[in-house]
A and B are shown apart, each in its own frame.
Chain A
Amino acid sequence: MRDLARSDHPLPAKGADAVGLVNVTKRFPGVVAVDDVSLTVRAGEVHVLLGENGAGKSTIVGMLAGLQEPDNGHLTVGGGRVRLTSPSGSLEAGISTVFQHGMLVPTLTVFENLVLGDTWWHRPPRALVERRIAELQRDFGLDVPLDALTGELSLGQQQQIEIARALLRDSTVLILDEATSMLTPAGADELGARMRLLAGRGLAVIFITHKLSEAYRFGDRISVLKQGQFAGEIPPEELRGQTEVDAVEHMVRLMFGTGSAAPASRRATRAPGPVRLAVDALRTEGGAEVLALRDISLEVREGEVLGVAGIDGNGQKQLAEALAGQRPITQGSVLLDGTDLGRASVAERRRRGLRYLTDDRLSEGSVGAFPVSENTVLKEIGAPPFWTAGFERPGRIAAHARDLISTYAVRTPGEATPIGHLSGGNIQKVLLGRELTGDARVVVFNKPTYGLDMQNITASRKRMREIAEDGRAVLLISTDLDELIELADRIAVIVEGRIRGTLDNDGSGEMRLRIGRLMVGDLEAAS
């Protein structure tokens, strides 16, 4: 934006390296978000980054946008090694980002948003901006009403303004993070056409999505990420030769298939017992922010593990919360051992033996500043034997906690240590111990191994297997297909708040692909 009239970054030749990652690793507390990823984005290409939520796409965007720096490895711009330490550094390197959640100030006008970030004493002349915007309107069909209040525009229009801003800055690399998630199908097609146009002008466009058909239709090159790792690439020459069906199948294989045979340690299925948990035509309320559950019906039998697979954010959390009594249900019923739970409270459900292990260990599952001991009885505050006549019995709580620590092999200096000081895996053990205390009949797990290291994952899975073998019923919600194939007897696939299908887990190598196809659905439904 320094000089609107002049190009700061002459566009590199098509096919030249625009920006890249070299052996980049980025860790967050308890999670390796990006694990040794290398990729190169070329000028004149629409490069699709494809992957499920949690695959590391957003972290890569964050690093390219200067919001985070890699822990290991480095970034390149124009083939040379760079450090992008701030968003302004990234902009100066010619990289503009359109974030998933818009980054315009709603209370400013469009013009004001366009010139935001310039030096304070200077404001680019309005006439100049108008001229450049007119060009963009002509060349790319961007609709930019300069005097409109930004917050009053539709999300699609706001996105066009962000793209216009990137072009005003003469960026050479344009990142579009989940750019179609807020758009109508027509809007998405329009954006796709615009991406092709921009790439045609020599820009490098990075398009992040989890929709396979968009990846095929808009992309030149597709890189697939899986749990923070680079899972494979479909180069342009290959992509062009494929039909949409073939390409989507290829992507499904990259996203879901490891190519290896079934996990060796798969749990042996035993004869199912009586139905413990029955969910019938369950519905919850939805809104702009939360997906509604629509007619969910499930059955979990004694000694059985029912897996729920799905791309993150398709209603898994709502399902778990509705079962646990944390989210009101609008229709349908939940039966525990044949009794309708109706409007039973969280505590009542827990008392009757329905236990829920949240995926949100830190904020929902535990109170970080409290000692381990108090966290073990967090769901029984005021109840005997840990409280008598309203008074806390610290001795009993501590003894109970020590017991749990040794049973579940929690690595902690002691029961008085604040639980927030423990690692994710050890917090998970404490929570698991808490949920299994007493008469647990049905245990609902939501992403139980998310963010844990390998050792803790193995231990957690072993524990879940034991719970089922003890004759309890387990509902295992997970985004990790390997985990589901290893543990579940049957796997239900949830898509947009509905159960799209339930598969008997035969443990074969075909399972992943069968689940994957259900998850992305047929082409129309997926986009």
Chain B
Amino acid sequence: MENLLTDAFLSSLLTGAIIAGIPLLLAGLGEQMSEKAGVLNIGIEGMMLFGAYLGFLVAFTFSSVWLGFLGGIAGGMMVAALMALFCVRLGLNQIVIGIGLTLGAEGLTALLHHFQFSRTYPRLPAPVRADLPLLTDIPILGPSLFGRHPVVYIALALVVIMALLYRRTNLGLTLRAAGEKPAALDVAGGRVMMIRTAAVLFTGAMAGLGGAFMANIAAGIFIPYMTGGAGFIGIVLAMLARGRPFWVLTGALIFGGALSLTTALQVAGSNIPTDVIQMLPFAAVMLVLVLYGRKARLPAALGLPYERGAR
């Protein structure tokens, strides 16, 4: 075991934590916004998967990772548009619709992928990196933290942007009011339906971007069902973060670390059974929920459709 803590191991662990954490971060930030607005977005797993599929397809077809990200955002938003239609406009049950959308996206992407590529899994060329000069030269930390794809920095910047948005603008206020007491927002002249729709679409965009990151950057390949519950971990992150974007970041890195530990431990050739190692991230979810789940304070109107004048 003493040879575990080598430079190579730590470096790959850190790199892995970031690569695996970014999709979780994006999903968590997205989910956080729709939960703030009172929509429990269980469909986020489906949005991620569809984003991964469309993101990969666009990147593969046009040989452009950047276009691929736009494709991923569009894919996530398409699924989110259905969520907004059914759960915000029509006021249907958010859990049922969310599960339906997730299952639908799983089936549809697997089918479409099979239809187009049959049993082959074409690979994208290695992603570009934005090496930040000097910083990249720091040992261990340098290459892990500062030699990444620009989307990594965009995602990190989003954490700051969201924090400012929630704290400083009336949009943050409107979102919170929509999630806590939509009737109060309505009679104050705010627009509940519009803010909730916008929040769900934003969730779709973030989830789609996260999915595309998984396919185009982390894996370089699309495999059906490849998100493997990342969207659901995003929901957990959003709930535990209690509305704070920086907590989502912390959580995403912890879970990302657990995910990458599974790879790193296998690379290091430890004699712990693979099954136990692969269980780690989910054990981490359970542990965190047991420890902090009771403290999660969710918006009062989360999951409740709003209808004007209903008593």
Contacts and interface: CB of A to CB of B under 8 A. Distances in A.
Given A118-B170, A119-B170, A122-B170, A103 B176 contact: no
B157 interface: no
Query: What bracket does the count of chain B residues touching chain A fall in?
Result: 20 to 34
B120 interface: no
B191 A116 contact: no
Contact of B170 (A86, A106, A123, A165): A123
B176 A105 contact: yes
B272 interface: no
B180 A105 contact: yes
Given A91-B189, A107-B176, A121-B169, A116 B308 contact: no
A88 B170 contact: no
Contacts of B173: 108, 112, 115-116, 123
Nearest to A119: B170
Interface string B49-76: 0000000000000000000000000000
Main SS at interface, chain B: helix
A108 B170 contact: no
A272 interface: no
Contacts of B188: 87, 91, 103, 113, 116-117, 165
Contacts of B185: 105, 116-117
A142 interface: no
Contacts of A67: 187, 308-309
Interface residues of A, number: 30
Contacts of A387: none
Interface in A464-516: none
Contacts of B171: 120-121
B281 to A, nearest CB: 32
A456 interface: no
B187 A87 contact: yes
B10 to A, nearest CB: 42
Interface in A87-125: 87-88, 91-92, 97, 99, 103-108, 112-113, 115-123
Interface string A42-73: 00000000000000000000100101100000
A118 B309 CA distance: 21
16 contacts: A86-B308, A88-B189, A92-B189, A103-B181, A103-B183, A103-B184, A105-B180, A105-B181, A106-B180, A113-B184, A113-B188, A116-B170, A116-B173, A116-B174, A116-B184, A120-B171
Interface of B: 168-171, 173-174, 176-177, 180-181, 183-191, 195, 300, 308-309
Given A99-B187, A116-B170, 7 more contacts: A62-B309, A106-B300, A107-B180, A108-B177, A120-B195, A121-B169, A121-B171
Interface of A: 1, 62, 65, 67-68, 86-88, 91-92, 97, 99, 103-108, 112-113, 115-123, 165
